[in-house]
Amino acid sequence: MSSYNAPFEIHVHGDVPLRADVTFTQIQDALKPLWTYTGAKSLADAAESAYEEEPGIRFDATEHLLTLCWTVPGNDDFRQALDEMCMSLNELAEQGAAIEVTFYDTEFDEEEEPPEAESRDDFVMLFVGPTPAAIMQVQRDLLVEDVVNLMERHFDASELGGVVAEVDRLFSNRFDALVSSLELGKPPRGSGGGSGGSSHGGGRRPRHLH
């Protein structure tokens, strides 16, 4: 697709901590859905953002951190590229991380459109991580931050412990349900070979931070 007639400008933003053993080649492979979408032949060719003031796609080998602040022209089919990228980044991530994606409608002109017209702007929050627990931890932390910020307009922070505890309970229930669903898909355990414990289902339960 030509960038001149793309209906959206799509901004991808987030920091993903990677394992210490991850190489640039692995990162290039994981991000292949993004750079091939632009028509580039490599990650380096596509790493620059459409806007000079944005750092684009960067990998800090010392900090083992992938930084995304990158805008590309595109269409709704870019969502498929994002899904494929997230699946690959799960294999490389050291811990859970959130990636924000904003679709800006380039064809909508507020001054020229009729009052009832609506833009196709959209916002998507994606999550990556080495385990379901790591992803849920990020989701939980973001929700707590949003809820506390909202309620601090009316209550002192010291009064919100019960609200945070309730959010933790909801995520614990979701994690337990996930573990149970994964267990249902496993073959029966042998009567003498099990070691006990509960370290199945993609890792430990999300920690509770108060």
Q: Are residues 66 and 113 in the same domain?
A: yes
Residue 201 has pLDDT above 50, yes or no: no
Q: Are residues 124 and 179 in the same domain?
A: no
Range of the domain at 180: 135-184
pLDDT tens column, 135-168:
988 988 888 888 888 888 888 888 888 888 888 8
**pLDDT attached to residue 68:** 98
Which residue, 96, 83, 89, 98, is CA-closest to 30? 89
Which residue, 9, 7, 6, 12, is CA-closest to 125? 12
Q: Are residues 35 and 20 in the same domain?
A: yes
Region 179-193 average pLDDT:
54
pLDDT tens column, 57-115:
999 999 999 999 999 999 999 999 999 999 999 999 999 999 999 999 987 666 666 66
The answer as to whether 197 is a domain residue is no
**Can you tell me the distance from the alpha carbon of 145 to that of 128, in angstroms, rounded to the nearest whole number?**
19
Sign of CA dihedral 44, 47, 48, 50: positive
What's the full length of the chain, in residues? 210
Q: Are residues 32 and 74 in the same domain?
A: yes
Q: How many CA atoms does the CB half-sphere of 23 hold within 13 Å?
A: 3
The answer as to whether 208 is a domain residue is no
Predicted TM-score (pTM) above 0.85: no
Q: Are residues 119 and 31 in the same domain?
A: yes
Question: How many domains does the chain divide into?
Answer: 2
pLDDT tens column, 5-58:
789 999 999 999 999 999 999 999 999 999 999 999 999 999 999 999 999 999
Q: Are residues 82 and 173 in the same domain?
A: no
